[in-house]
């Protein structure tokens, strides 16, 4: 598609929105139809309670949850790139990924310790361990971002904020590895989180992610004009009366909430938050408001299609969706490296 001028983007913008909607619906239909061969017959689904339950309780929430997680990561990636004014920024730059991993590692070690104290009566399954891991990942991600902001003495200096995020990520990652050395029996479940997974998403997870996505996207769209001004540079934005520090702080809060919510439900999904906003900007250069909306939609499509591929490539076995997005995202970056101007 030929890039449209930013001064008159409306026709191409609507076409882009329509295409993303079609891809989302098509990907959701594929997600419902892809899975282990269990004799699922869509034509007789109404008379087959087992097939209907599989679609309603397993495949449909998994597909919708994958789209919502990708949309959260796409939105948070766009906000990160707007804050740092760098097309290669991603949602994990502020340490949220390492914080979530540390939270999950701590919850697994705590559960293992409690199980040992109870004589092995407690098991690794059930809703309690899932809720514990989800809550720990969410709190860990938010705590890591707050620590990054505190070390950077606020959000006024993006370079200091970036360096603080790198330091926090390294330190918290090392602590996670230390916990896994202490309790190696928790390593297998920790690997599932690190690789990313949509297997256990249910309707409650979808409801939570949908609520956070609507709130974050609505507030982010309200920041569209200040972000357009900030894109001209800090001095230019201040001369236009934009409260730069407050806009950056709001963006950091929104991207942290969106990232923490997605990571808590699906684990660490690589490259979606980086690639989605970058692809939209290369495809259709528009102002910040439509860019944020399109980035969220693109993130949802990317993760949904990656989830379908992860189930279809070596069916009936599955590849971790985080590995699939890493391979696809790495290939995308290698393609960009052949055109150095694209990375600027």
- For residue range 250-285, what is the model confidence (pLDDT) as tens digits? 999 999 999 999 998 998 998 899 989 988 888 887
- Three-state DSSP at 99 gives helix
Joined together, the tokens standing for residue 308 give 């379908």
Residue 27: inside a domain: yes
Q: Which residues contact 134 (CB under 8 A, 6 or more apart)?
A: 264, 265
Tell me if the pTM is above 0.85: yes
Residue 2: inside a domain: no
Q: Tokens 């250069």 sit at which residue?
A: 285
The 10s digit of each residue's pLDDT in 4-56 is 455 555 668 888 889 999 999 999 998 887 766 554 555 555 566 777 777 88
Mean pLDDT of 306-331: 86
Joined together, the tokens standing for residue 3 give 């890039």
- Report the b/e string of 148-164 with b at 16+ CB within 10 A: bbeebeebeebeebbeb
- Report the b/e string of 314-341 with b at 16+ CB within 10 A: eeeebbbbbebbbbbbeebbeebeeeee
Q: What DSSP element (H or E) covers 144?
A: helix 127-151
Residue 4: inside a domain: no
Residue 141: inside a domain: yes
- Three-state DSSP at 201 gives coil
Task: State what percent of residues in the chain have pLDDT above 90.
Answer: 35
Q: Tokens 């514990």 sit at which residue?
A: 132
State the Cα–Cα distance between residues 158 and 160, nearest whole angstrom. 5
- Three-state DSSP at 157 gives coil
Q: State yes or no: cis peptide before 54, omega within 30 of 0.
A: no
Residue 338: inside a domain: yes
Joined together, the tokens standing for residue 330 give 């790495």
The count of domains in the chain is 1
CATH number at residue 261: 1.10.3470.10
Residue 240 half-sphere exposure, CB side, CA atoms within 13 Å? 15
The predicted structure's pLDDT at residue 121:
47
The predicted structure's pLDDT at residue 3:
47
Residue 15: inside a domain: yes
Q: Which residues contact 30 (CB under 8 A, 6 or more apart)?
A: 305, 308
Q: How many other CB atoms are found less than 10 A from the CB of residue 15?
A: 13
- Residue 22: give the domain boundaries: 10-343
């Amino acid at each position: 598609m030929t890039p449209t001028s930013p001064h008159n983007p409306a026709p191409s913008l609507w076409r882009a929105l329509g295409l993303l909607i079609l891809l989302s619906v098509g990907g959701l239909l594929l997600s419902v139809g892809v899975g282990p061969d269990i004799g699922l017959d869509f034509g007789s689904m109404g008379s087959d309670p087992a097939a209907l339950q599989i679609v309603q309780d397993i495949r449909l929430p998994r597909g919708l949850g994958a789209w919502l997680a990708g949309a959260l990561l796409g939105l948070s990636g766009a906000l990160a790139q707007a804050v740092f004014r760098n097309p290669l920024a991603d949602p994990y730059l502020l340490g949220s990924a390492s914080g979530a991993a540390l939270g999950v590692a701590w919850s697994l070690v705590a559960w293992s310790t409690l199980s040992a104290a109870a004589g092995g009566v407690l098991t690794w399954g059930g809703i309690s361990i899932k809720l514990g891991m989800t809550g720990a990942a969410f709190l860990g991600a938010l705590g890591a971002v707050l620590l990054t902001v505190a070390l950077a003495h606020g959000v006024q200096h993006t370079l200091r904020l970036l360096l603080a995020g790198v330091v926090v990520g390294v330190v918290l990652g090392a602590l996670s590895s230390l916990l896994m050395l202490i309790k190696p029996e928790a390593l297998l479940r920790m690997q599932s989180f690190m690789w990313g997974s949509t297997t256990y998403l249910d309707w409650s997870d979808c409801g939570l992610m949908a609520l956070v996505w609507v709130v974050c996207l609505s507030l982010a769209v309200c920041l569209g004009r200040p972000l357009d001004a900030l894109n001209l540079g800090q001095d230019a934005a201040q001369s236009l009366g934009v409260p730069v520090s407050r806009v950056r702080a709001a963006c950091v809060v929104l991207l942290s909430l969106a990232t923490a919510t997605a990571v808590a439900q699906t684990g660490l999904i690589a490259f979606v938050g980086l690639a989605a906003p970058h692809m939209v900007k290369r495809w259709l250069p528009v102002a910040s408001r439509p860019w944020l909306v399109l980035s969220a939609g693109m993130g949802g499509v990317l993760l949904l299609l990656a989830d379908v591929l992860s189930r279809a490539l070596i069916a009936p076995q599955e590849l971790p969706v985080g590995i699939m997005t890493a391979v696809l995202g790495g290939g995308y970056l290698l393609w960009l490296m052949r055109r150095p101007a694209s990375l600027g």
